[in-house]
Amino acid sequence: MKDRVLIANRGEIAIRIMRACKELGLDYVIVYTDADQDSQHVHLAMEDQDGRKRAWRVASYTDPNDILAVADHTGCTAIHPGYGFFSEDYRFARRVTIRDRPLTFIGPNWEVIKSLGDKINTKRVANRLGIPTIPGTDGPIYNEMEAEEVATQLLDNQQQQKIKNPSILVKAAAGGGGMGIEEVFRIEQLRRVYRQVQNYAKRQFGDGGVLIEQCLRDYNHLEVQLVCSRHGERLHFGTRNCTIQSTGRQKRLEAAPGFDVSCFTYDFDAPKVLRQIVDYSLKLADHVNYDNVGTWEWIVARNGTPYLLEVNTRIQVENDVSARISYLHNKQPNLLREQIRLALGDTMGYDQKSIDFRGSSIELRLVAEDTNRGFAPWIGTISQFSFPQEDWAAVYTHVPFDRAYTIPSEYDPNLALVLVWGDDMTMAKNRARQFLDGTVIEGHNNHGEAIMTNIPYLRGNLERLLTF
């Protein structure tokens, strides 16, 4: 039976998945919420009915019962979670695949998601394999004496390495999203902070376990894009650099490859470090039998030392930055298409040598926000939305071009992803500037004030790409 994919996501990624399904000759169904009824992902699916209803309104994108009910009713055989929402929820992946009417979860198998979704476990496995991780504990500490011992050692090591203002981070082991993290500069501060974080962790997460890590400040945030099949094949699609982020640690500008000597004089052999992180990523992927797309996130210090940060067991927003510098049979691949095909059981059909890396690419995330006011989201209605048409650029958006669109206040005010590429990073940057100059976004909020976007911020930060 031909597969039919339920797209359990919204916005631009839903549209990209929709297109990938069509290109693969697969049928699809989308879900949407009331707040999203004007989104282009809903309109496209509504227009594409041909006798079948392809758009179903659900209570929420995070209601698994609704999503599975629609999947069953519409005869879907697979679910694509996109990014966010259920994409890294192993319980959802498990529920999709282990039920009376099992479906294919388009992502890694649930056991891999569970194993790598646990940051402490990932760190422990990585350490066992000799993969560098951020210096510190790889398991929760419940004992103040032990905490002090680890902290002393971490502070001493930094002093020996002549790191300015050495410090450590004390984190709630069960925490996440930047909550329950305190910085300690002197060992005398540790006991007080340890108790504070421990109490917080007990109160918030019901577990007083604490992690202690070296605090890294001067670094670049890199990613390695892996694509793997259910048949033990594991390839990489290069590296990308995601260092430029908002104050809330949300990425705004990404570039591939991860380092480029034309942008900065690195204190290390950049190509060698990139090779290293790719090799380490593949080593860990092999060890856990990774079987779909995934991103290995790395921190690279100014001296070139890489540390594995975490593994994102899903397709990422920025996957296309890597695809735009990777050529398969002289064509840029579509990693979403690859992800779906491989999750449905296909073999890769090519090997690492078939992937030719050339040129540079940049992703610009266009967001309605006030970058001068802590990246505060802008709410209102977009009346004009147009982009230059270039054969060296692609735009992914759920904002319609032919009608006014009110940004729903239920979700982030992301407007579009713009990908530009060129023969080298200088060309890619110039094209990015040219593209931004030709972009028109107009709109007003309820008070009649003009739309605020991050275009000036993106333009202003292009030169910072791939630098320390």
Asked if residue 400 binds other proteins (CB under 8 A), the reply is no
Which of 129, 379, 427, 455 forms a contact with other proteins (CB under 8 A)?
379
* DSSP assignment string, 61-86: TT-HHHHHHHHHHTT--EEE--SSTT
Indicate the Cα dihedral angle 40, 42, 44, 46, nearest 10°.
-150
* Stretch of 50-58, 192-200, 297-305, 416-424 contacting other proteins, by CB under 8 A: 50-58
Euclidean distance between CA atoms 154 and 152, whole angstroms: 6
Euclidean distance between CA atoms 245 and 250, whole angstroms: 5
Q: Which of 16, 54, 240, 314 is catalytic?
A: 314
For residue 340, the surrounding DSSP H or E stretch is helix 335-343
* DSSP assignment string, 273-302: HHHHHHHHHHHHHHHTT--S-EEEEEEEET
Euclidean distance between CA atoms 422 and 438, whole angstroms: 18
Which residues, at least 6 apart from 431, have a Cβ–Cβ distance to it below 8 Å? 390, 392, 393, 420, 421, 422
Euclidean distance between CA atoms 357 and 322, whole angstroms: 9
Which of 69, 129, 187, 328 forms a contact with other proteins (CB under 8 A)?
69
Closer residue to other proteins, CB minimum distance, 132 or 377: 377
* Stretch of 63-71, 125-133, 154-162, 338-346 contacting other proteins, by CB under 8 A: 63-71
Least CB distance to other proteins at residue 56 (A): 6
Least CB distance to other proteins at residue 63 (A): 6
**Residue with structure tokens 């009915």?**
49
Least CB distance to other proteins at residue 124 (A): 31
Asked if residue 56 binds other proteins (CB under 8 A), the reply is yes
Three-state SS at 422: strand
* Stretch of 53-61, 228-236, 252-260, 304-312 contacting other proteins, by CB under 8 A: 53-61
Maximum alpha-carbon separation in the chain: 71
Asked if residue 450 binds other proteins (CB under 8 A), the reply is no
Closer residue to other proteins, CB minimum distance, 94 or 191: 94
| Active-site annotation holds for 314 | yes
Asked if residue 156 binds other proteins (CB under 8 A), the reply is no
Asked if residue 46 binds other proteins (CB under 8 A), the reply is no
CA angle 420, 424, 427 (to 5 degrees): 60
* Stretch of 29-37, 230-238, 263-271, 336-344 contacting other proteins, by CB under 8 A: 29-37
Asked if residue 247 binds other proteins (CB under 8 A), the reply is no
Asked if residue 70 binds other proteins (CB under 8 A), the reply is yes
Which residues are marked as active site? 314
- Binding residues for other proteins, rule: CB under 8 A, are 33-35, 56-59, 63, 65-66, 68-70, 72-73, 376-377, 379, 409-413, 446
